[in-house]
Structure 1
Amino acid sequence: MILAIPSPLGVALGIAAAAAYGATAAASSWLGRPSTQSMLGLAWLLHASLLAWSLAGADPRFGFAPALSVTAWLVTTVYAIESRLYPQLQVRRVLAGLGAAAVLLALAFPGTPLHVAASPWLPLHLALGIASYGLFGAAVIHAWIMTRAEKQIRLAAEPQAGVPLLTMERLTFRFVTAGFVLLSATLLAGLLFSEQLYGPHARGWKWDHKTVFSVLAWISFAVLLIGRARFGWRGRTARRVLYAGAALLLLAYVGSRFVLEVVLGRGAA
């Protein structure tokens, strides 16, 4: 998640991972499940190797593209675990396409160096935030699968998800709950320990774009979980709130960093 300037080996690993993801997406329609699972596993392993190699760099960096890259890897990891429990789940092509795009984007935009005064605990703080991204990303993928399955049912077609809708719904809210816990921990750490994490230049709670969007996302997910528990929200209503919260969370870090790094050309951590 904290990427150094791409070295030749890092570039080679990135290209290999993107190629493996791309091959999986292209071949998933005509190869059997075992073959595509193996291809996706190879892409996942190459992606993990890229992240591990980048973490060993001397100058830690972070940015919107590395955040998306780790999020894509985490979502693929969730799918790999989940597919053992629910072999019928069919999202390999979508995940492979997202993985290829995320890896290539991280190679093109490797991020900017963290502030020299940042705490050694800052990577852990960022890891919590990106882990919440991954869990909410998995929830969004599940919500999309449910939407697609419901459309197929209305058209009197056989749903391709392969997993009962009620099961998918329970899984979706489990991911939302876990992501909400991690997001809460991330925001609480930023509120209480901002100076320790980011150095003396960061004093107190800063109401910048990242903070505002993060708090709005947290409120959206809190409303979703309360609505689910108290009023039984489900279906289209629950998915709309989930999509809104995920969009706000995406704008919180990835969006603000994209503006800083690409639009404004600044590297503030």
Structure 2
Amino acid sequence: MVNTSLYFITAALYLLLGLRDLVSRQPVPVETTNCRSSWRAQGLLFLTLVVHAALLHRVLFASHQMVLSLGNSLSLVGAATVAMYWLASFRCRLGVLQSVLMLIVAGLVLAPLVLPAEKPVEYSHLLTFKIHLVISLMADGLFGVAALHAVLMSVMEQRLHNHDRPFTPLGALPSLVAMDALLFQMIWVGFLLLTATLVSGIFFSEALFDKPLVWNHKVIFSLLSWIIFAGLLMARQLWGIRGRRAARWTLAGFVLLLVGYLGSKFVVEILLHRG
């Protein structure tokens, strides 16, 4: 049994990171493009990730098999999203995005306390499952960052169209053109990871069920998400789709991924009470 204090310590670290950025943010011009995170900020975020990883290791491997309940899965997806953001922050830090992400993950860290379940994953020892899980978490994490990024872009574009005040409370932000380019860079990498997730899932299904593909809700929603992102990238190349339309399709694809990954766990553990 994991000490509950470790949950609250991890959540407090994320909370402090989020509030620290909101409180200490200085007004800056919207046109600022040199927005890379400082080494100090990256170091603090990395240390928080290490603490979160230690917590996840204790929670997920409390028994000989992996305990991948809904609460643990939410915390795991949160950690993957922060990890993908941390890697992206070496390229560019997007103002209030980090604060919002930290506050969300602070809540996700506590999810296993609210949604406990002790049923282990019987096939967690399979190498194909481990590879599939890691790749899928990377895809979910990167698309999670892209989804938050898309929301921020939509807010910026809406306020610009309404001729509202500058975005000084949001911190240092690049132009919408630069943010749009960064969004599609993340979508391209996420799409490749999602494709690898589907391919690795075929090998995992073959090893577990002796079938190359089992048509369950996870596969269906993942394929629908893949189709959306493939269509979005194609529309980008052919018609130059951008702005709020691209943001809406990004959010739709991410929601389908979450439904596919977490939907069955919610139905089984919350609605049907089969822990």
Q: TM-score, normalised on structure 1? A: 0.83
Does the alignment pair 1:162 with 2:173? yes
> Aligned equivalents of 1:186 and 1:76: distance in 2?
19
Q: Could you say which structure has the greater relative contact order, defined with CA pairs below 8 angstroms and 6 or more residues apart?
A: 2
**Equivalent residue, structure 1, for 2:154:** 147
Separation in 2, partners of 1:152, 1:78: 28
Write the distance in 2 (CA, Å) between the matches of 1:131 and 1:142: 16
User: Cα distance 1:29–1:236, how it changes in 2: closer, same or farther (>3 A)?
Assistant: closer
Deviations 1:203-262 (A, max 9, x none): 442222222111111111111111111221111221121111111111111112211222
Tell me the number of residue pairs that the alignment of Structure 1 and Structure 2 aligns. 257
1-structure distance, mates of 2:217, 2:93: 41
Preserved contact between residue 222 and residue 256 of structure 2 (Cα < 8 Å): yes
Letter in 2 for 1:259: V
Identity of paired residues, percent?
33
More deviation, 137-146/50-59 = 50-59
Structure 2 distance, partners of 1:193, 1:85, is: 34
Q: Which residue of 1 aligns with 2:48?
A: 43
Q: Hey, what's the Cα distance between the residues in 2 that align with 1:116 and 1:152?
A: 49
Structure 1 unmatched runs, 5+? 1-5
Aligned to 1:121: 128
Segments of 5+ residues of structure 2 without an aligned counterpart are 27-37
> Which range moved further: 65-74 or 163-172?
65-74
Partner of 1:212: 220
C-alpha distance in 1, partners of 2:203/2:41? Answer: 46
Q: What's the TM-score, normalizing by structure 2?
A: 0.81
> What is aligned with 2:184?
173
Moved more, 118-127 or 12-21: 118-127
- What's the CA shift string for 1:28-69, capped at 9, x where partnerless? 432358897776555333213212444554331213333332
Partner residue, 1:183: 194
* CA RMSD, Structure 1 to Structure 2 (Å): 2.7
Q: 1:81 to 1:125 in 2, by over 3 A?
A: closer
Alpha-carbon contact 1:21-1:97 (below 8 Å) kept: yes
User: Which digits, 9 at most, give the CA deviation of each residue in 1:83-118, with x for residues without a partner?
Assistant: 344356332321121111110113333553112586
Q: Is the 8 A contact 1:64 1:255 kept in 2?
A: no
Counterpart CA distance in 2 for 1:132 and 1:257 is 19
User: How far apart are 1:182 and its partner, in Å?
Assistant: 1.3
Whether contact under 8 Å (1:18, 1:103) holds in the other structure is: yes
Structure 1 match to 2:259: 251
1:266 to 249, 253, 274: 274
Indicate whether 1:79 and 2:65 are aligned. no
Q: Which moved more, 1:58-67 or 1:93-102?
A: 58-67
Paired with 1:182 and 1:84, the residues of 2 have a C-alpha distance of 20
| 1:209-248 alignment, distance < 5 Å | 209-248=217-256
User: Aligned partners of 2:213, 2:243: CA distance in 1, in Å?
Assistant: 36
Query: Which residues of 2 match residues 192-207 of structure 1 at below 5 A?
Result: 192-196=203-207, 199-200=208-209, 203-207=211-215
- Residues 1:70 and 2:76 aligned together: yes
Give the alignment partner of residue 134 of structure 1, picking from 138, 141, 164: 141
Q: 1 CA distance for matches of 2:205 and 2:196?
A: 13
1:40–1:96 CA contact under 8 A, matched in 2? no
Question: Counterpart of 1:156 in 2: which secondary structure?
Answer: coil
